Amino acid sequence: MINVTQTFFPPLEEYNSYLRRIWDNKWLTNRGKLVVELEEKLKSHLGTSSILTMTNGTLPIQIALKVLGDGGEIITTPFSYVATTSAIIWENCTPVFVDIDPEHLTIDEELIEASITSKTTAILATHVFGNPCHVEKIEEIAQKHQLKVIYDAAHCFDVVYKGKSIFEYGDVSTCSFHATKLFHCGEGGALFCRDEDLMHKLFYSHNFGHDGPVAFHGLGINAKISELQGAMGLSVLPYMTEIAAARKKVVDYYRDHLDFSKIQSMKIRKDTQWNYSYFPIIFKTEKDLLQVQSRLNEAKIFPRRYFYPSLNTIPYVNGSSMPISERIASRVLCLPLYFGLEEIDLKKICNLINLNDE
């Protein structure tokens, strides 16, 4: 069976060596030594000015919205994982959808300004499949209208844009360290923020608001990462070069062997050092997608309709029509992509996609 992704497992003895340190330290959570070590190593690896690890990738978005959203309208994309929209609603803000660029699949920066009202407090945009938004234009709009910018950069580990980490853009950027991601802690995530005062507020917000054991800075929740998650992250991090190289080989094979007269691929934004996080293909019709998906499934190959459906259409959102996002979402399929995927399997996948259904 070939799934859309497969978790990278580091050598068990290396993970066990970190577990022994946990047992020796008698410290499982509340920013133990492994979590602090992981954060320092991640900052060095990524070249970021800050990082705050958390127990999953959704809580950083929720905390950023709680601190910066102020219960207002949040300009956002309909083409993302559901967590982007659900976090907005969960934090008592209102999502205001803006359609997407059909080539880069990110929010269409030229449409943002027309959706801003007196109630708008922030822009929450997704770097889709590791492909950066037009961050310069978004920053220009945000400064003009005095809005905050939050980036859902869940897919963006190791993405570099114009010479620096994509996490260095926006007021806050977030990432997922879920088991399906390039870098993972089994489950986990992180928040990045260059402003020291804001970072201080975000930090205490992720730890019940604590200022020491008995005093409080303000409101907070529990988003702390455990030492067990830290151990997994420390075990995976040394293999990122190998993981990236293996994923690039898969992407290169798809690019060389798929029939792109029948399908469209995502355009990577100029000046981007991409991370090969996903390989989406877009069919001419939903019928074509469903035929290919069925054929692959019969061969025990399971790509994923990701992102589907367009988030403006989910039941608890009163979203207006987003024609480009809806069309893309109905026709996009992410192909299997992971460390260890063999060429014999890639050949089978490409042959099944390239078959003529007419």
CB atoms within 10 A of CB 168: 20
Name the residue type at position 318: N
- How much is the pLDDT for 283? 98
DSSP string, 317-345: --PPP-HHHHHHHHHEEEPP--TT--HHH
Spatial separation of the C-alpha atoms in residues 30 and 33, rounded to whole Å: 10
Q: Using a pLDDT cut of 70, give the percent of the chain over it.
A: 99
C-alpha to C-alpha distance for 21 and 27, rounded to whole angstroms: 9
Are 71 and 93 within 8 A, CB to CB?
yes
The pLDDT value recorded for residue 358 is 52
At 213-248, the pLDDT tens digits run 888 899 999 999 999 999 999 999 999 999 999 999
Q: CA distances (Å), 17 to each of 12, 22, 25, 34, 75, in order?
A: 9, 9, 13, 12, 45
Dist CA 290 CA 61 (whole Å): 33
* Distance of alpha carbon 280 from alpha carbon 304, whole angstroms: 9
pLDDT score of 318: 82
341 CB-side CA count, 13 A: 30
The pLDDT value given to residue 213: 85
Closest CA to 313 of 304, 322, 302, 305: 322
Residue 332's nearest CA partner among 265, 277, 239 is 265
Residue 105 CB contacts under 8 Å (≥ 6 apart), including other chains: 79, 128, 129, 131, 266, 280, 328
Structure tokens at 95: 């999502």
- Terminal Cα-to-Cα distance of the chain (whole angstroms): 27
Question: What string of DSSP letters covers 74-99?
Answer: EEE-SSS-HHHHHHHHHTT-EEEE--
Which domains are seen in the chain, by residue range? 2-238 (3.40.640.10), 240-354 (3.90.1150.10)
The predicted pLDDT at position 185 comes to 98
Chain centroid to CA 35: 21
Predicted local confidence at residue 356, as pLDDT: 73
| Alpha-carbon distances of 251 from 85, 221, 270, 341, 350, rounded to whole Å | 29, 40, 18, 11, 12
Strand partners, 94: 73
pLDDT attached to residue 212: 84
Q: What is the pLDDT of residue 309?
A: 97
Residue ranges in the chain modelled with pLDDT below 50: none
Q: Which helix (H) or strand (E) holds 190?
A: strand 189-192
* Model pLDDT, residue 357: 59
**Which pLDDT tens digit goes with each residue over 61-90?**
999 999 999 999 999 999 999 999 999 999
Quick check: 23 and 218 in contact, CB under 8 A? no
